[in-house]
Structure 1
Amino acid sequence: MRIYVAKNGDTLKKISETYKIKLNKLLMYNPHISNPLMNLAGYKVYIPSPPSLAKVTSPIGECTLSPPSDLLSSWIPLTSLEQMTDTDYDVLIVGSGAGGGAVLRRLAEHWRNSGKKVGMIEAGNLLLPTHARNIPTMNDPRFTQYFHTVSKWTGKNLPDFPGARQLFALGGRTLFWGMSAPRMDRSEILTWPIPLKEMNYYYDIAEKVMRVTTAYMEGSSLQETLLKRLHENGFPEATDVPTPVDLQVTKYGEIHSDVFWSSISTLAYALNRMPFDLAINARAVELFVEQNKAVGVKVMSSNKKSYVLNAKTIVLSGSTFETPRLLLHSGIKGRAIGHYLTNHSFLLATAKVNRQEFPEILGTLSIFIPQTTKRLYQIQMGGPGGADQWYLWYPQYEEKPLLDELLIGISAFGKVESRFENYVTLDPQKRDQYGVPKLNVNFSYSQKDREIIEEMAETLHEASSAMKAALVARNGQQPICLMPPGSDYHEAGTCRMGNDPYTSVTNPYGQVHSIEGLYVADNSIFPSMGAANPTLTTVALSIRTADYIARKFLNT
């Protein structure tokens, strides 16, 4: 490159011809000269080195395109059941919900680059790659409509448990769960066969895994004002709902698309640390046990073809209904299998406040009044809401209207006694499409349960009065109504853990009594049910079970 000071009469076109440089190239190097025919007297003209003086470079070849040898047909790598029959798994996980996902994630931490073989089967199909609240086309009404469309209303066939729903899909009900993640009250844990200190240790881990935070409501005048009213009027323990939400922003190319947590997040974590096999539309129908040791699972595909998958260790994470169903159908013996079914008694109410009582920024409402030793229930409040829409969350594209009156949704969850008389059993007459007997449910509230329900209703009146929020009737319902059993979606206890095989199904680490290598990691393992939402506790217990499994492998 050199600089030439043009003489009178020089033009860019003339310089191009003199130095045998293409005119377009000169124009590129001299953007301050727009007209190639203008007189450039006194102008500085930048002249690139002629081709003969330029640095010799390698010739430019033609690029070829070739697709990757292994193509990916979905948003997560899948393995066929045919391929899985050729592998002897160290661990095979049945079910991909909160418990199954937590076990897989923790094993991936233990066994990174170890060569251990881990597989997971899911009875359902691919549905969503994340929690439904993270989908930009969802809002509150569409969320509800979609969940009721894709979930299976199990309760239609269970007159004693009419509100129950199940979701057979990768991620299970964590694709739609309500995102409240409190710890169970210490008074409840003290009755469990796990030291409180150890349970708190695993709660710490689970909260980090799920990114549990109380910052979701930060800066909300609605939240701060109503919390202050509750604190000053008899509810000093009212606090922010612990919410599993990723509040980090995208930085340096790291994408935080899973704002609200689901089991899909645990699968993604494991996928990037350890290879594992995953089959969908793979229904476990029978467990194989030889000499009191689990050795494999019979699985059926959606076209009813049978496969046998071999494994040293099997973890059942189906659900409170599906796990005992599989154990019973497989002939696993145990007096407590299917018994001690529990859930939460569930009161629903709506309160109303005037928008003018709250300064900007109005924000989000998510308040939590926890269980205590004297109050065997918890209360949750969410909002704000209008006639047809609630704004605890909403997509960025939705315009949030100005409302004169704000509705607050209130839920109260009461402890239900863990009783042998509440149980699930196989139906001798009805079978599903895979030949597995369907379930019958025997469930009722005890006198103690009903006393708690009455006390909850009284407290809802007191809490609404403390907040200066009047209870109102909506959709033809009473201001406070008792939801049908099962509609809390918090069922638990049918494979409870304990030290006594007469009253429990598993030991304190989730291993089925007297059967080596067979574990349970879902809500069904709870020995009793406090008032807290169960998902955080399920994740904590499942991580603990995974640690136990990893230790067992170290000693073999």
Structure 2
Amino acid sequence: MSNLVVKYKNNWIPTKSLEEMSETNYDVLIVGSGPGGGATLQRLCELWKGQGAKKIGILEMGDKLFHSHSLNIPTQNVNTARDQLLPDNSTVIGERLPQFSGARMVYALGGRSLFWNAATPRPIREELTKWPIHPRELNVYYGMAEKLLHVTTDYAKGSSMQNVLLKRLHAGGIFEANDMPVAFDMTPSRQGEVHSNPWFSSINALAAALFDHPYDLAINAFASQVIVENGKAVGVQVFSPNKKAHIIRAKNIVLSASTLETPRILLNSGIQGPAIGRYLTGHVSIIAVGTISRRQFSDKLGNLSVLKFETNESPYQIQILGPDQYFSYQQFEDKVLKDQLVIAYASFGRVQSRAENRVVLDPNAKDEFGVPLQQVQYSLSNKDLQVAEQVKEGIRQSATAMGVTLDESTLVLRPPGSDMHESCTCRMGDDPNTSTTNRHGQVHGVQGLYVADNSVLPTLTAAGPVLSNVALAIRLADHIVRQSG
């Protein structure tokens, strides 16, 4: 039986060894397989379909974990994925980052996209006008990202709970509450076309890429530094688990290793840039719960998937989910509902982007390969703490409007990093003094070196970073293809 398990594990997506990959000079080499790396890969393979001479490689420091989002696994539901699978398959990196103690990483193919809750609102429009990309161009790429992620607002369509509580929110003056956009493929399987992975993870993008154009994938591949010659990136030094170093050469290198890991690679590479690692931005985050009587709804209860969108006056968003664990559950489960239904308020408030919040190399700590570990300098400003109070009040107002009895003891600010939305440490901009990359995601002063994860976001609004990350990654792939001729 164990041989069968290993065979499946090794064959559901093809991989290559670092030894094999070191023999190829790639047109594009991507470091990291989360949403940014996956979207870059998918778009490159789509555009280079039929162009067999183009060589693409992707490196993942983790192993294969799941072939899909955890909520697509038939034996899992919201509770088990959150309480068992995630703790068992993630690393609480915050244990050695005292000022960012809530940080948690998933080192695996697909990264944290295997566990995200898939809320995909666009950032508030007023903020996007400050980005170094024209809003009309951004609008096109957000549309492409929403298409790739199968974003829908119909997830709770027909639910009496959704309909009743949305009406109450609007009647209570909370007009920015609406159906939550989620990355969920609602297309039914038919005529042989199988849609078996409705919750999006980066594995979907890797799969879409696979059917368009061949690429080389190495797992358990730890990228330690970028090799730069005469102002141009030419390769990446990568360690295998046996601590052997390999050089994988490429014409273009895309770092998508994470907001905490990508600046570590850049800094360890000796790449100069005053903004590298700076402007670390997350959210002030609260997850509160309350209860409401089941008798207030029809038998066609359904689920609850509401988002209180960010506004200029209210710089936070609230995901309102329920009932109980039935926001997402398997068709095999009996929906056992108590008289009092639990409603969750997952809330995220804006944090100022400040240069002093940063990722640095720790001179006193190295990993198993002898590479310096990162350390985080992070604090919340008075304005950030004021936003946290606004978040609490927003939850109270929403609960009151909905007729939900809020558990006040749950209105507690989570430790920094708990939101898993950290961004902006290699942010995009026109000024090399305050940004790491230019408007195309290319690291200032280093030809052929790009960033395509949450770290490249110019700013972080109250919306989660994944949709923006994917939009910018698709745009980056288009740029690389244009540059490659």
Q: TM-score, normalised by structure 2?
A: 0.97
Of 8, 17, 27, 1:90 maps to 27
User: Shift of residue 142 of structure 1?
Assistant: 1.7
Deviation string for 1:216-266 (max 9, x for gaps)? 100000011000000111111210110111112221111111110000000
Q: TM-score, normalised by structure 1?
A: 0.85
**Cα distance in 1, alignment partners of residues 389 and 125 from structure 2:** 24
Deviation string for 1:369-427 (max 9, x for gaps)? 11112211111111101xxxx11011111111031000100022111000001011011
**Cα distance in 1, alignment partners of residues 391 and 107 from structure 2:** 33
**Cα distance in 1, alignment partners of residues 170 and 10 from structure 2:** 54
Of 329, 347, 353, 2:292 maps to 353
User: Shift of residue 74 of structure 1?
Assistant: 1.6
User: Shift of residue 140 of structure 1?
Assistant: 2.4
The one-letter amino acid paired with 1:111 is W
User: What is the 5 A alignment of 1:12-23?
Assistant: none
**Cα distance in 1, alignment partners of residues 330 and 71 from structure 2:** 8
Q: Is the 8 A contact 1:418 1:527 kept in 2?
A: no
The one-letter amino acid paired with 1:75 is W
What residue number does 1:199 align with?
A: 138
**Cα distance in 1, alignment partners of residues 308 and 231 from structure 2:** 46
What residue number does 1:526 align with?
A: 457
**Cα distance in 1, alignment partners of residues 58 and 251 from structure 2:** 14
**Cα distance in 1, alignment partners of residues 87 and 35 from structure 2:** 20
Tell me if 1:540 matches 2:471.
Answer: yes
What residue number does 2:241 align with?
A: 302
User: Shift of residue 510 of structure 1?
Assistant: 0.4
User: What is the 5 A alignment of 1:106-255?
Assistant: 106-114=43-51, 115-144=53-82, 145-255=84-194
The RMSD of aligned alpha carbons is 1.1
User: Shift of residue 72 of structure 1?
Assistant: 9.7
The one-letter amino acid paired with 1:82 is E
Residues 72 and 168 of structure 1: CA distance in aligned 2, closer, same or farther (over 3 Å): closer
User: Shift of residue 479 of structure 1?
Assistant: 3.3
What residue number does 1:286 align with?
A: 225
After TM superposition, which residue ranges in structure 1, 4 or more long, deviate above 3 angstroms?
none
User: Shift of residue 190 of structure 1?
Assistant: 1.1
Greater RCO (CA < 8 Å, at least 6 residues apart): 2
Q: What is the number of residues matched between the two proteins? A: 476
Deviation string for 1:92-116 (max 9, x for gaps)? 0000000000000000111111120
What residue number does 2:341 align with?
A: 406
User: Shift of residue 306 of structure 1?
Assistant: 1.1
**Cα distance in 1, alignment partners of residues 63 and 171 from structure 2:** 50
What residue number does 1:485 align with?
A: 416
Deviation string for 1:483-514 (max 9, x for gaps)? 11100000001001100000000001100001
What residue number does 1:63 align with?
A: none
Of 431, 439, 453, 2:366 maps to 431
**Cα distance in 2, alignment partners of residues 245 and 322 from structure 1:** 28
Deviation string for 1:347-385 (max 9, x for gaps)? 221111000000121011011011112211111111101
SS of residue paired to 1:482? coil
Q: Is the 8 A contact 1:91 1:119 kept in 2?
A: yes
**Residue ranges of structure 1 left out of the alignment (5+ in a row):** 1-70
SS of residue paired to 1:252? coil
Q: Is the 8 A contact 2:176 2:310 kept in 1?
A: no
**Cα distance in 2, alignment partners of residues 208 and 400 from structure 1:** 31
What residue number does 1:41 align with?
A: none
**Cα distance in 2, alignment partners of residues 426 and 352 from structure 1:** 46
The one-letter amino acid paired with 2:76 is M
Tell me if 1:393 matches 2:331.
Answer: no
The one-letter amino acid paired with 1:517 is G
What residue number does 2:5 align with?
A: none
SS of residue paired to 2:155? helix
**Cα distance in 1, alignment partners of residues 410 and 420 from structure 2:** 22
SS of residue paired to 1:109? helix
Tell me if 1:447 matches 2:390.
Answer: no
SS of residue paired to 1:217? coil
**Cα distance in 1, alignment partners of residues 459 and 339 from structure 2:** 43
- Name the stretch that deviates more: 234-243 or 125-134: 234-243
**Cα distance in 2, alignment partners of residues 197 and 519 from structure 1:** 23
What residue number does 1:470 align with?
A: 405
**Cα distance in 2, alignment partners of residues 73 and 441 from structure 1:** 36
Residues 269 and 469 of structure 1: CA distance in aligned 2, closer, same or farther (over 3 Å): same
What residue number does 1:495 align with?
A: 426
What residue number does 1:22 align with?
A: none
**Residue ranges of structure 2 left out of the alignment (5+ in a row):** 1-7
